[in-house]
Structure 1
Amino acid sequence: MITITPATEEQLSTIRSIAYQTWPSTFGAILSPEQIEYMLTMMYSPEALLTQAHEKNHVFLLANESVSQEALGFVSYELDYKGESATKIHKLYLLPDSQGKGVGRQLIDCVSELARRHGNDRLSLNVNRNNKAIQFYERIGFSVVKQENIDIGNGYLMEDFVMEKPLS
């Protein structure tokens, strides 16, 4: 069984650890090792995570195995993204051994329920255009609404699909 709880500030190091364990297998065939390292530092340094939580209104949820309390993965989201009636899923990563076991779906379902209760009418997320997770998102009701290229500095681009899912 899985328990999903809001991450405390002390647990941001667990989120960082999950990202560092997940990114090489998730992006190793898509991005250069240099870009992976650059992005991990940019998005998952202790300072970056604190800024996301305290200044950018990102909420982090941790999925843990109920008995052992072993961390399995996390999601971060933001309600009322850019003043719209949308909840933005900024991050969703599961440890490799936790993938394909329904943990990601449970995290998305949890965010969906929180967004609905808040009054948002859709979920939105960005995903690399070559990421195998696209099929997962499509299976659970997301569809591609546009493409975007985001310059993240240092000569790197995030080449993403923007996907949305209505919350009806």
Structure 2
Amino acid sequence: MINFLMATAKKQFSDIAQLADVIWREHYIPIIGLEQVDYMVKNFQSAEATYVQFIDGYHYFMIYFNNHLVGYLSIKKEDETLFLSKIYVSKEYRGKKIGKSAMNFIEEKAIEMHCKSITLGVNRFNVSAIAAYKAMGFKIIGEMITDIGNGFIMDDYKMEKLIL
């Protein structure tokens, strides 16, 4: 069974950060390298960073599969768009329809928030994620190159799915 729990307590953000550290190292080191992963985990995926994002209006949800924390997601309403900031599932739980359930959950939130679309950024070399998003109805609508400091950039595609 797949459940989503909104994170509001610092302990929950600590649990998310521990999971993020594992997921990011296994998935992103081959794509962006160890130095950039270390930098991004510390500055964007740590308990402190995610809690500040929560205070700034991002909604974090912990994803549970059979009562085990297996992933997390973060969303924020921006005008009539729901921005999907983060969606990650542990490697050993991929292929169990958790990502699909999470996207259905996100679409429900978008409808509740009266959004007309969902947007996200995905690393242009993250081919498996791009394929998954396309299979779920997202389209590439642009490119985003973002300077994130310390000499690093995020080289992403901007993707969008219209909500009918």
So what's the TM-score if we normalise by structure 1?
A: 0.93
- Choose which of 32, 50, 75 in structure 2 pairs with 1:77: 75
Query: Paired residue for 1:139?
Result: 135
Letter in 1 for 2:159: M
For residues 50-85 of structure 1, the C-alpha deviation after alignment (integer angstroms, 9 at most, x for no partner) is 110012x1101111123xx21011110001x1xx20
User: What runs of 5+ residues in structure 2 fail to find an aligned partner?
Assistant: none
Matches within 5 A, 1:59-74: 59-66=59-66, 69-74=67-72
Query: Paired residue for 1:31?
Result: 32
Q: Is the 8 A contact 2:119 2:160 kept in 1?
A: yes
- Quote the Cα distance in structure 1 between the aligned partners of 2:24 and 2:50: 16
Query: Paired residue for 1:125?
Result: 120
User: What runs of 5+ residues in structure 1 fail to find an aligned partner?
Assistant: none
Q: Is the 8 A contact 2:61 2:74 kept in 1?
A: yes
| Matched residue SS, 2:115 | coil
1:95 aligns with 2:94: no
Q: Is the 8 A contact 1:18 1:93 kept in 2?
A: no
1:32 deviation in Å? Answer: 1.5
Letter in 2 for 1:127: V
For residues 12-54 of structure 1, the C-alpha deviation after alignment (integer angstroms, 9 at most, x for no partner) is 1111111111012211211120110000000122221111001
- Choose which of 110, 132, 148 in structure 1 pairs with 2:105: 110
- Choose which of 154, 162, 167 in structure 1 pairs with 2:150: 154
Cα RMSD over matched residues? 1.0
- Quote the Cα distance in structure 1 between the aligned partners of 2:8 and 2:53: 13
| Matched residue SS, 1:74 | strand
Matches within 5 A, 1:7-26: 7-9=7-9, 10-26=11-27
Letter in 2 for 1:22: I
Letter in 2 for 1:96: K
| Matched residue SS, 1:91 | strand
Letter in 1 for 2:120: L
Query: Paired residue for 1:2?
Result: 2
Deviates more, 1:29-38 or 1:2-11: 2-11
